[in-house]
Amino acid sequence: MHTLLRFCSLLFTLIRFDLAKVVLEYNQVQGWRGFLLHSLSILSALFTSRRARLRPAGVRVRLACEYLGPIFVKFGQMLSTRRDMLVPELVQELVKLQDRVPPFPPSVAIERIEKALGGRIQDIFASFDSTPIASASIAQVHFAYLKHSTPQGDTQKPSGRPVAIKVLRPGMRAIVARDLALLRKAAWMMQKVWVDGRRLKPQEVIEEFSTYLQDELDLMREAANASALRRNFAHSPLLCVPEMIWAWCRPKVLVMEWMEGIPISQVERLQAAGVDIKKLAREGVEIFFTQVFRDGFFHADMHPGNIQVSTEPARFGRYIALDFGIMGSLSDFDKSYLAQNLLAFFKRDYHRVATLHIESGWAPASTRVESLEGTIRAVCEPYFDKPLKDISVGQVLLRLFQASRRFSIDIQPQLVLLQKTLLNVESLGRDLDPELDLWKTAQPYLERWIKTQVGLKGWIERFKYEVPQWSQMLPKIPRLVHDVLVTQGPASRELEIRVVRLEQKARAYRTGLRILQGLVLIGIVCIAIGIGKWPSLSL
């Protein structure tokens, strides 16, 4: 019954905001599909005002998401990251979606906190502010002070420290399950009715959205993400990540260190506090590229609402990251692909960009390099009529993805997430400093990463990693050969003797390999010392 009522609500919204016309505006739909969509559009004319129907398509889609509630708002936010799939007009409106959700009652928040933490709130916190300081579609946040005591055996010793408590909204799992079931049905219908539906893969998009939502519903996962990011930037003068108070972290309640800061969107307050705005813009880009190319693990929701600037004397002017529900990760292969693509683009080496697409396996092996190269040149060359500081690196990636579509290239989800985050970072940086040259800031990171992968330093790192594995594998080879031969039938005495001798030789080789490894490492240290004494020898 709940699903049926929700489906009726969805159908009413479809008619109220004339969403059938949105499909008709961007696609020539014929046959019974076209008849169905035109019929829905006529119904919309009967139930909605002319002014409402004359709104741009993107605005109607955004208003429909807001009307349907928090889960559909988050779905719209996720769709805004799929710039490789949607037309720019729709994306620009979906980006405006924000979680404007009233807080749930303090009594409910206290009940949920006490149930999750297994004790009365006054026994755990010295004081608790029942008025939430933030409220979103999935959770809301309260301010509190911890007491001196912690559960017995815990290694952390917080002493009356201020904390932020994040509490999941009640009934979220049931709401998410219900709306996801509805979205899956809508995706199935969309794929049947919309001519372009099969290419856009709506059912796969819903499953991707489901993964994001499930991650956000587990606050222990968010705490682990925050802990990993904090460890990566433990000694950084650029970024602060709140410490998770693990003694009081649960799947439905998260307690973290409280940090004093100013939202990064409040530029006038930052200037009044004495923050160097241009320096702040450069450091934001530096933080992002450090996460991507050094760690391969990045905060994937870096909109202004999730970033503050510290006002505490000990870490004044540093970025504070918040909300770690959505994180991105990249393999070495992804990082290499991105770095080489961007470097090749800014060198106008379009042949290399096309070759990288095919070598990566994302473009079919049958793709003509010259054809793909020509398409990339056509969409990217106009950028070079502008100064480098005016070139949007995020838009470069977007245009590359769009150009790739006609060649049946499937864009990897992790790269779409990265591209969305890069656009956020770039927009944020240029809001702070319109003269920000993002390429000038990013280029050293890309070139340095490439050198560590293909240069002497990269070879040394791989050698140090691989040699111990070789030394462990060598003694096992004769035994593996012996096991295979035994399974083929009774082994002769001569064969057994040869296997034993091979094992003895393998042990000797392993000892020799370890000695060689030690000598090579000693040699590397000597070379490093030599380079330090004679800079002219530096690579």
Q: Is the pLDDT of residue 112 over 70?
A: yes
CB atoms < 10 A from the CB of 16, how many?
A: 17
Q: Is the pLDDT of residue 538 over 50?
A: no
Tokens of 114: 């006490």
Identify the band that residue 158 occupies on the pLDDT scale cut at 50, 70 and 90: very low
pLDDT for the residue 100:
67
Q: Is the pLDDT of residue 30 over 70?
A: no
- 335 versus 22: the higher-pLDDT residue is 335
Least confident span in 2-6, 135-139, 329-333: 2-6
Least confident span in 43-57, 168-182, 367-381, 507-521: 507-521
Mean pLDDT within 449-459:
64
| E strand intervals along 197-252 | 239-240
Mean pLDDT within 17-34:
62
Q: 342: which residues sit within 8 A by CB, 6+ positions away?
A: 393, 396, 442, 446
Q: 212: which residues sit within 8 A by CB, 6+ positions away?
A: 74, 78, 325, 326
Mean pLDDT over the full length of the chain: 76
Residue with tokens 């950084």: 236
Catalytic choice (84, 301, 323, 334): 301
Q: Is pTM beyond 0.85 here?
A: no
Taking the C-alpha atoms of residue 299 and residue 323, their distance in angstroms, rounded to an integer, is: 9
129 is catalytic: no
Q: Is the pLDDT of residue 115 over 90?
A: yes
Q: Is the pLDDT of residue 384 over 80?
A: no
Q: Is the pLDDT of residue 352 over 80?
A: yes
Which of 384-403 are b and which e, b meaning 16 or more Cβ less than 10 Å from the residue's Cβ?
Answer: eeeeeeebbbbbbbbbbbbb
pLDDT for the residue 316:
92
- 356 versus 130: the higher-pLDDT residue is 130
Least confident span in 101-105, 239-243, 313-317, 460-464: 460-464
The top-scoring range by mean pLDDT among 37-51, 307-321, 358-372, 453-467 is 307-321
Q: Is the pLDDT of residue 429 over 60?
A: yes
pLDDT for the residue 240:
95
pLDDT for the residue 136:
81
Least confident span in 66-80, 178-192, 415-429, 471-485: 471-485
pLDDT for the residue 532:
54
Identify the band that residue 14 occupies on the pLDDT scale cut at 50, 70 and 90: confident
Mean pLDDT within 436-455:
72
Percentage above 70 pLDDT, the chain: 64
- 40 versus 436: the higher-pLDDT residue is 436
CA 202 to chain centre: 20
| Residue pLDDT, tens place only, 503-512 | 666 666 666 6
Mean pLDDT within 71-85:
72
pLDDT for the residue 376:
81
Specify whether the CB–CB gap between 412 and 256 falls below 8 A: no
